[in-house]
Amino acid sequence: MLDSNKIRADFPILSRKVNGKPLVYFDNAATSQTPQQVIDVIVDYYSNYNANIHRGVHTLSQEATDKYENARNTIQTHFNAKHAYEIILTSGTTESINLVAHGFASILDKGDEIIVSALEHHSNIVPWQILCEKTGAILKVIPMNLEGELEMDSYSELLSDKTKLVFVNHISNALGTINPIESIIEQAHKVGAAVLIDGAQACPHVKPDVQALDVDFYVTSAHKVCGPTGIGMLYGKEEWLTKLPPYQGGGEMIDEVSFEKTTYAGLPHKFEAGTPNICGGIAFGAALDYMNAIGFDTIAEYENELLAYGTKRLLEIEGLKIYGTSKNKTSVISFNLKGIHPYDVGTLLDKMGIAVRTGHHCAQPIMTFYNIPGTVRASFAFYNTKEEIDALVEGVKKSKMMLS
Ligand SMILES: *Cc1c(COP(=O)(O)O)cnc(C)c1O
């Protein structure tokens, strides 16, 4: 059982007020809040051992290097990667995806096919469009249904020996749908295609096992799992990371440099040019430690309770429609009030101290599918409570009265 009072005490920000009201933070799908345990790690780094890594003989540099590489090991263990060097530390999901897309530019031929899903975040659409323009490859899209689920029969039909890459998010940030990635990966491998899973929205809720999934690439951002912004990871199978060319040139990523020829460093350094976000990497490890200490089964059970309660309470409001009604979903509720613009609801809720996201959630194609300008999205984390959901329901009722 999760003790929400004890957990909330770990998050200093949760006791602040917004517009004179206690903060109700329901924008967790955009970024999560940071517990004191992780803030302490950040302060400790800059207070005690801030130094550049991997090249210093002095004590501070060695301490920083050890902690940074320990964090990589923590991330490796968390995702059950076979080797620590299969974990590339990046600035986040977006950079990880761009790194892979850049690499595939030298692998794809004209007429090859890339499959993405209708449920993607813009960060998982645009890099592939750029890649297709560069290579002459063709982008195909797995359609979705009204529940906000992928049409798996259509997916099977899209696959062929022309398919080289499949890119799908594990969990949709706009609707919360959990996609059947096991089956997506298995079917793609049957035709010899590689699979990249965008796990940015899944990692706050589940603990993925990249070896059990047999996935080729898995990417995520630390700021969705109680870590800081500007740091994230790319997991890639060794064989793929060896095959892909470096993404950026610079310090750290070389073996030997002369003006005639440069040879590249081995993994993971080949993909980590320049001074990395050292403090961020260490804090990413600390954030995963924090969440693992609570336990992902405990987190999932509690959030499912919040989801069920929030869904039931919000549906009591007449004229409220929820988008994304799959049985397989996490604690994200995207909704609209009949005849009222989502932006107006979000603005009024903010006046009451309630933070939700409004708009297209970086997933315009989904909004186009439902023929709506956007939604109000309330996304719950393990530090939220049913009392906060009650406040949201009262807030939405009040907004409805004021706006209709
Ligand atoms: C948040 C998110 C991203 C983007 O992550 P960044 O940290 O902004 O790079 C991509 N995909 C999904 C599903 C997300 O939820």
User: How far does the centroid of ligand 1 lie from the alpha carbon of residue 198, in Å?
Assistant: 8
In the residue annotation, 362 being an active-site residue is answered as: yes
Residue nearest to atom 5 of ligand 1 (CA): 93
Please, where are the H alpha helices in 136-233? Answer: 152-158, 181-190, 210-213
Q: What is the second-level CATH architecture of the domain 39-293?
A: 3-Layer(aba) Sandwich (3.40)
CA atoms within 13 A on the CB side of 196: 33
pLDDT at 123 over 80: no
Confidence of residue 45 (pLDDT cuts 50, 70, 90): very high
DSSP-assigned letter for residue 311: H
Per-domain residue ranges of the chain = 4-26+295-399, 39-293
Tell me the average pLDDT across 185-192. Answer: 98
Quick one: what percent of the chain has pLDDT higher than 90?
89
pLDDT, tens only, 232-269: 999 999 999 999 999 988 777 878 888 788 788 899 99
Tell me the average pLDDT across 46-65. Answer: 94
User: Which residue among 198, 205, 225, 231 is best mutated to probe the pocket of ligand 1, counting the most ligand atoms within 8 A of its Cβ?
Assistant: 198
pLDDT, tens only, 77-114: 999 999 999 999 999 999 999 999 999 999 999 999 99
Cα–Cα distance, 336 to 351 (Å, whole number): 18
Specify the CATH number for 4-26+295-399; select among 1.10.10.10, 3.90.1150.10, 2.40.30.10, 3.30.565.10. Answer: 3.90.1150.10
Instruction: With residue 164 as reference, give the H or E element that holds it.
Output: strand 163-169
pLDDT, tens only, 321-336: 999 999 999 999 999 9
pLDDT at 212 over 90: yes
Tell me the average pLDDT across 35-48. Answer: 98
CA atoms within 13 A on the CB side of 391: 21
> Is 220 near ligand 1, meaning CB less than 6 Å away?
no
> Is 177 near ligand 1, meaning CB less than 6 Å away?
no
Confidence of residue 73 (pLDDT cuts 50, 70, 90): very high
Burial of 60 (0-12, 13-18, 19+ CB in 10 A): middle
**By the 8 A CB rule, do 129 and 139 touch?**
yes
- Using DSSP's 3-state secondary structure scheme, residue 277 falls into coil
CA distances 230 to 91, 94, 172, 227, 280, Å, are 5, 10, 21, 9, 7
Q: Which atom of ligand 1 is nearest to the CA of 31?
A: 1
Residue nearest to atom 12 of ligand 1 (CA): 200
Phi, psi of 317 (to 5 degrees): -85, 120
What's the pTM? 0.96
Tokens of 78: 């968390």
User: How far does the centroid of ligand 1 lie from the alpha carbon of residue 221, in Å?
Assistant: 7
